[in-house]
Chains A and B, each alone.
Chain A
Amino acid sequence: MVSTHMSLQRPAAEEAAHSRRPASRRRWVRWAPAVLFLAPAVAILAVFRVLPFVYAGYYSLTEWDGIEPPTFVGVDNYARLLSDPVALEAIKNTGLLVLTLPLWIFLPMAIAILVHEGMWLGRAIRLALVIPILLSPAIIGLYFSLVLRLDGPVNELLGAIGLGGLATEWLAEPHTVMPAFLTIALWGALGLGTLFYGAGLASLDDELYEAAAIDGASTLQRVRHVTIPHLRPVAVFWSLFVLISFFTAMFPLLFTLTSGGPGHRSTTIDLYIYQAAFENFDFGYSAALGTSVLLLVAVLAVIQLRLIARGDEA
């Protein structure tokens, strides 16, 4: 690719060399509006989106408390990551989240298909499921920290149906906190997933359905052989989106829900990136954690990018 690029460039460059000034000036005049229109976005993105990548690489190799000038420590921060019990616990918890991925993929898919098949109350249910995606995850976390309190409605409800013995401080017990967090995170994303698959189903060709009906296919056969295959690309997109969010978007929910506790029992990797920097004032280490996650997620992001680019061409 590089070589074709060069060979295309060369004649143009020679041509420009012959009558450099007029040609380049003409081109500049022609492109001036485009450059001016692009400038604000490019400036903002260069400073706040591209420069941080460079900074991340550099500061991950330093020790910096946020006040004193950073000191260069080489790869110490990365070495520390591998022996830091909190980091390992955070990785384990993020891993648990990844293990729930099939639920994230198939539950919203099933709901979208049921709504599409004309389930009773389908639209009302879909509308209700959308409510959590309007709220900030931080607000959802706060809500559940209230609802799961010892004197909150969940325990009260358990008492009312004779299961009062199960009532507990859900978010403070080491063995209930992760299940509670995993459920709440999934609960909050059902609506978005359903919307997403719903958009995929909207492009489903009715003729395929009619053809299936004429062939005498049962509902289940039709769903299995027509609907689900149609949703496969959507499922791939959705699972990449969800996977990336596991590593990068759990912070606001956990910040208000558990702050990562009890102990570090519900600390995920992106919450720990925040805590390392803004609670332990260990900015260099936080940058190293962030850079590691970024490298990991970049692989997923590139796959996602290729899929989008391919979708755009079609």
Chain B
Amino acid sequence: MSTAVATRARGQRLRMLPATVMLALVGVTTAFPLLYALVTALRTQSDYGRGSLAVPREITFQNLQDAWQAAGLGRLAVNSLIVVSISVAVTVLVSSMAAFALVHLGLPARVGRFGTLTALFLLALPSTVLITPIFKVTLDLGLLNSYLGLVLVYVSLSSPFGIYMMTTYFRAVPREILQAAEVDGASAPRRFVSIAIPLARPAMATLTALTALTLWNDLLFSLILIQDPQRRTLTVGVSLLESSFAQSSSAVVLTAGLLISTLPPLVLFIFMNRSLMRGLVAGALK
């Protein structure tokens, strides 16, 4: 019986072979950028001149060093790390607090529903087409070119999803646990910190991973809100490398910049794989 099933499964796999080969080829192209970036970033410009697909003859760290120092990407990487980590922390905190309030702080059910719907509504309406008004609001507040402005805009972009996700999560937390704590005299912040947060840790990890990835990869808002070249974030710096550093815009240095900017997402992927994948699916599902 089991061999029959196995035979049938193998037959089925054989019939899928053409598709398998085609998809494996596509898979090679999607995995290729990382390998290509690694190899190209570590070869000399003249070695690249022999052919971009040729196996490199010598390895150099000069390109990475040029990209990091001469092209100034090192500073921008630090900028990005600061802005993204603060934005993620604030997003997770502010969204969890709001979601907790909507579900577990005694608001009438219809207020809670209205809050969740508003978050969903903001989530569904894209703000990338509103760059002019967002730019103007930031300008009017005197927050242009400041990290505070960028952080606030980032939080405003990611917290609607955060609120929505955290409310669905908090709804699954039994009301009785929190009511018991309230009867025992635990204040709202106390219930939030010692009951809700520990229970919501997986959801917070998912939100952290997704937000970190999205914000690290943002080009648009960082580009329009931070115009001082020294304060730019890494994605913007790398994107402008070709035009702003004409001298060093050789393919190998550009690729080194590209490689540097992909490291944090890779680290995130390796260490928070499950949370990130769950977040990506939920993020698309909304």
Contact = CB atoms under 8 A, between A and B. Distances in A.
Interface of A: 30-31, 33-38, 40-42, 44-45, 47-56, 59, 110-111, 114, 117-121, 124-125, 128-143, 145-147, 149, 151-153, 156-157, 160, 187, 190-192, 195-196, 199, 219, 237-238, 241, 244, 247-249, 251-252, 255-256, 270, 273-274, 277-278, 283, 286-287, 289-291, 293-294, 297-298, 301-302, 304-305, 308-309, 312
A87 B155 CA distance: 31
A222 to B, nearest CB: 11
B97 interface: yes
Given A49-B156, A131-B34, A136 B53 contact: no
Interface stretch (B59-67, B70-78, B134-142): B134-142
30 contacts: A34-B101, A35-B101, A37-B188, A38-B115, A47-B137, A47-B156, A52-B137, A55-B136, A114-B16, A124-B27, A125-B24, A128-B31, A134-B266, A136-B216, A136-B265, A138-B238, A139-B258, A143-B37, A152-B52, A152-B251, A241-B284, A249-B126, A251-B219, A255-B219, A255-B239, A273-B132, A283-B135, A290-B130, A294-B130, A297-B126
B131 A48 contact: no
A38 B20 contact: no
A183 to B, nearest CB: 10
Given A44-B155, A136-B261, A305-B121, A248 B16 contact: no
Main secondary structure of the interface of B (DSSP, over half): helix
B36 interface: yes
Interface of B: 9, 12-13, 15-17, 19-20, 23-24, 26-31, 33-34, 36-37, 40, 49, 51-53, 94-95, 97-98, 100-102, 105-107, 115, 117, 120-122, 124-138, 141, 152-153, 155-157, 159-160, 163, 168, 187-189, 192, 213, 216-220, 223-224, 235, 238-239, 241-242, 251, 254-255, 258, 261-262, 265-266, 268-269, 277, 280-281, 284-286
A135 B94 contact: no
B139 to A, nearest CB: 8
Contact of B105 (A33, A139, A160, A187): A33
Nearest to B278: A199
Given A55-B133, A195-B277, A252-B220, A33 B101 contact: yes
A252 B219 contact: yes
A118 B284 contact: no
A182 to B, nearest CB: 15
A59 B133 contact: yes
B133 A53 contact: yes
Nearest to B167: A312
Contacts of B53: 153, 156-157, 160
B137 A55 contact: yes
Contacts of A305: 117, 120-121, 124
A308 B286 contact: yes
B159 A191 contact: no
A249 B221 CA distance: 12
Nearest to B122: A49
B63 to A, nearest CB: 13
B132 A294 contact: no
B156 A37 contact: no
A166 B31 CA distance: 24
Contacts of A199: 281, 285
Contacts of B127: 49, 52
A105 to B, nearest CB: 13
Contact of B30 (A54, A131, A160, A249): A131
Nearest to B134: A52
B91 to A, nearest CB: 9
B33 A37 contact: no
Q: A44, A48, A137, A298: which has the most chain B beta carbons within 10 Å?
A: A48
A191 B276 CA distance: 13
A142 B33 contact: no
A138 B286 contact: no
Contacts of B223: 255, 278
Contact of B281 (A125, A153, A195, A244): A195
A114 B24 contact: no
A199 B138 CA distance: 39
Contacts of A251: 128, 219-220
A107 to B, nearest CB: 9
B107 A34 contact: yes
B132 A37 contact: no
Contacts of B23: 111, 114, 119, 121, 125
B125 A298 contact: yes
Contacts of A219: 12, 15
Given A135-B262, A256-B239, A119 B16 contact: yes
A41 B159 contact: yes
